[in-house]
Amino acid sequence: MDKEIPIIDMQENDVNKLREACEKWGCFRVVNHGVPTRLMAEIKSVAVELLDRPVDIKQRNKEGLPGSGYVGLTQTNPVYEALAVDILSSLSLPSFCYDLHASPHQREIIESYVRNIHELGIDIASRMAGSSRLDADSVKVCPSHFRLNK
């Protein structure tokens, strides 16, 4: 096995490399993906700002699905904290922003970032569907999970 996580260049459209990365590694790094660099920097700032909120506000980030919602600091993991939401309906993201007291600017950044990343995910899944057993139509309805880690 290679010693470095595979890099997938979205402009190359190398489906075999993408499939191999999924089969051998289960993960990969994506480059030339079209998500604006400025947006990626802005979402990092928003993440820091939201994760710096008081605990009582962060605890409002509750989701019914496993892996979603606020994950607080613990004795066994005193350096990891996260906020997350499953984008299952048109109300999920607005509710996430409202619960965390996100400003209109922060909400705009979050919505833009989620939209861009969701589209990238659909693109990757569609490429995989063209080369494997996946159903190309089913990837268009895949739910997205948005998580901010600290």
From the list 148, 123, 144, the residue with the least C-alpha distance to 42 is 148
Task: Spell out the alpha helix ranges (H) of the chain.
Answer: 15-24, 37-51, 55-58, 92-99, 104-129
Q: For 74-131, write each residue's pLDDT tens digit.
A: 899 899 999 998 887 778 899 999 999 999 999 999 999 999 998 898 888 888 877 5
pLDDT tens string 21-74: 999 999 999 999 999 999 999 999 999 999 999 999 999 998 766 768 899 998
Query: Does residue 140 register a pLDDT over 70?
Result: no
DSSP annotation of 137 reads T
Burial 74-95 (b: 16+ CB within 10 A, else e): eeeeeeebbbbbbbeeeebbee
For residue 77 the two structure tokens come to: 């993991």
pLDDT value of residue 135: 55
| 136 has a pLDDT exceeding 60 | no
Residue 130 phi, psi dihedral angles, 5° rounding: -70, -15
pLDDT at 138: 58
Mean residue pLDDT of the chain comes to 87
* β-strands 7-9, 29-31 pairing: parallel
Query: For residues 17 and 11, what is the distance between their CA atoms, to the nearest angstrom?
Result: 13
Q: Which amino acid is at 33?
A: H
Distance CA 52, CA 58 (A): 9
Q: Are the C-beta atoms of 106 and 97 separated by less than 8 Å? A: yes
In the chain, the amino acid numbered 29 is: R
Q: Is the pLDDT of residue 133 over 70?
A: no
For residues 99 and 15, give the distance between their C-alpha atoms in angstroms, rounded to a whole number: 40
